Amino acid sequence: MENEQAELLEDLQLREARVWEALVKGDLLADAEALGSEFLGVYSDGFAEKLDHIRQLENGPTIRGFTLTDCRVFPLGHDYAVFSYRAEFQRVKKKRPRQCM
């Protein structure tokens, strides 16, 4: 069971990194391919569905770089899990230091 959970965590980390890499590159297609059809983004200012996430890339990259830490996975069933992490990133159009969420 521990091995399965470790494998799931590794898989989800790789998948999530693809999403963030698409934000760095401004790659709408990569973002669309990386997100599942039932994607739900949870943010400090609300929720976003898959199309919302993809549309943010219409004008190119949105972040300069990112780091994902404190990754955790909580299996909820055969095909479901919660994946959470801390993201540090810097937005392209803001001169603020790195942000966290």
Domain layout of the chain by residue ranges: 2-100
Model confidence at 8: pLDDT above 70: yes
Q: What is the CATH number of domain 2-100?
A: 3.10.450.50
Q: What are the tens digits of pLDDT across the range 21-74?
A: 999 999 999 999 999 999 999 988 999 999 999 999 999 999 999 999 999 999
**Quick one: pLDDT at residue 69?**
97
Predicted local confidence at residue 76, as pLDDT = 92
Compute the distance between CA of residue 79 and CA of residue 28 in angstroms, rounded to an integer. Answer: 26
Distance CA 60, CA 22 (A): 10
Q: Following DSSP, what letter does each residue of 31-87 receive, concatenated?
A: HHHHS-TT-EEEETTEEEEHHHHHHTTTTS--EEEEEEEEEEEEE-SSS-EEEEEEE
Torsion angles phi and psi, residue 79, rounded to 5: -120, 15
pLDDT band, very low/low/confident/very high, at 93 (cuts 50, 70, 90): confident
Higher pLDDT, 98 or 67: 67
Pull the structure tokens for residue 35.
């997100």
